[in-house]
Amino acid sequence: MPTSLKDTTILHNGVKMPWLGLGVFKVTEVEEVIQSVKAAIRNGYISIDTAAIYGNEEGVGQAIKESGVPREELFITSKVWNSDQGYETTLKAFETSLNKLGLDYLDLYLIHWPGKDKYKETWKALEKLYKDGRVRAIGVSNFQIHHLEDLISSAEIKPMVNQVEYHPHLTQKELQAFCKKEGIQLEAWSPLKQGQLLNEQILVDIAHKYNKSVAQVILRWDLQHGVVTIPKSIKEHRIIENADVFDFELTSEDMEKIDALNQDSRAGSHPDTMTVGF
């Protein structure tokens, strides 16, 4: 089990990916992005997750530069948006993201949503970027088992990561088992279900037992399930609190209680019906 913010899981290509990072979804105010990313890095975070559609890659890049932390010590993720899917358009979108971030390479580049008919072409572009050394690892986001099976059937390189909505109301057991079997690291976006889980009584009781917050219990549950997690916050005290999850361990009984909260309910779109941008 990870014992600090610097601890990593090893992806199937040997690249080390931090277990816990900062997500910046919906943080569009430039100064807010810069301050939250700088606060995270100042407090020991080394992984930052952004995406083209978030509209904040420039702010993330500026914060990285101003942090004074050497680039090679950080793990930076971005994603190609739906309207840029396709081979040539993905290669162009990657250059745009890199320029906005002010970086020479990415640590992880993901296909943001599967859509219907372009993800294989898009994946070929990611394989090229990977082979050219422009990105250290490539993966997907919001892919269900059937998308992964279809992609893997013709891919030269298997995805290293699948970033999906994952929290106690959406435990995705079958998807997790499939990813584990295929050597694909599962990563949780919206681990706190955009705040909707914070008053869940069972979680409140478990948090009280460990003298932790509900958010900390959920993030610890992610880690104990072997899932990388990227909680979003713009407040420094929350950023610090979210990372304070390495000094306790949930019992198997508590893990089962949290698992039992599953409702297969989402805060975001279902991957099979997501059509925005396509």
Q: Is-contact 119 85, C-beta < 8 A?
A: yes
* Angle between the N-to-C axes of helices 119-131 and 145-154, in degrees from 0 to 180, rounded to the nearest 10: 60
- 25, exposed or middle or buried, with CB in 10 Å at 0-12, 13-18, 19+? middle
Q: What are phi and psi of 146, to 5 degrees?
A: -65, -35
Tokens (6 digits) for 65? 């530069």
Give me the pLDDT at residue 266, please. Answer: 97
Q: How many other β-carbons are positioned within 10 Å of the β-carbon of residue 257?
A: 17
Residues 122 and 159: their CA atoms lie apart, in Å, by 12
Taking only the tens of pLDDT, the chain with its 278 residues reads: 899 999 999 999 999 999 999 999 988 889 999 999 999 999 999 999 999 999 999 999 999 999 999 999 999 999 999 999 999 999 999 999 999 999 999 999 999 999 999 999 999 999 999 999 999 999 999 999 999 999 999 999 999 999 999 999 999 999 999 999 999 999 999 999 999 999 999 999 999 999 999 999 999 999 999 999 999 999 999 999 999 999 999 999 999 999 999 999 999 999 999 999 99
**What residue type is 126 in one-letter code?**
L
DSSP state of 272: T
109 Rama class: left (phi>0) / alpha (psi -120 to 50) / beta: beta
Active site residue 87: no
**CA within 13 Å, CB half, 16:** 10
- Report the predicted TM-score, pTM, of the whole model to 2 decimal places: 0.98
Looking up tokens 């072409």, which residue turns up?
Answer: 121
Q: Which of 54, 109, 119, 130 is catalytic?
A: 54
